[in-house]
Amino acid sequence: MSQRILVVSPDDASLNGTLNILNRAGFEAVGAATFEEASQALFHATPDLLIADERLGAFNGLHLVLRGRAVYPLMRAIVTTNNRDTVLESDARDLNTLCFIKPADPREWLGPVCRTLETPFLMSA
């Protein structure tokens, strides 16, 4: 069974490119463009991995991580950003979440996705 990935990005081109790359690589990837769509998808997609933009209107990707882990405590997560943000990186690390600067080329997602899915999940204290 392929691993399920929920990708959340308000940027249609980035979202579609990332979904295409992940699906061609053998993952079962679905997308959402808003926090609200992603909240609904979390409960239907049962993702092994959540990839969410930092900025999602009034919310951010870490809010989705918290919401998803309430249902799937071992769900892996990556939060994306356009620029390095040490506060976001620290908050993500506290949630056992990778903070990753969005690549220009969607093919660059495969490395971080595979590493995140292969890394044992450590429950936060």
Q: Is 110 within a domain?
A: yes
Q: Is 115 within a domain?
A: yes
For 30, phi then psi, to 5°, come to: -125, 160
Q: Is 81 within a domain?
A: yes
Q: Is 65 within a domain?
A: no
Cβ contacts of 113 within 8 Å, gap of 6 or more:
5, 22, 27, 49, 51, 78
Mean pLDDT of 38-64: 92
Q: What residues does 114 pair with on adjacent strands?
A: none
State the DSSP string of 23-46: HHTT-EEEEESSHHHHHHHHHHH-
Q: Is 8 within a domain?
A: no
pLDDT of 27: 94
Q: Where are the beta strands (DSSP E) in the chain?
A: 4-8, 28-32, 49-53, 55-56, 59-60, 76-81, 98-101
Count the residues in the chain: 125
- Domain coverage including residue 115: 76-85+96-120
Q: Is 101 within a domain?
A: yes
Q: Is 36 within a domain?
A: no
pLDDT of 1: 56
Q: How many domains does the chain have?
A: 1
Are 100 and 80 in contact, with CB atoms under 8 Å apart? yes
Q: Is 38 within a domain?
A: no
- Tens-place pLDDT, residues 59-112: 999 999 999 999 999 999 999 998 899 999 999 999 999 998 887 777 788 888
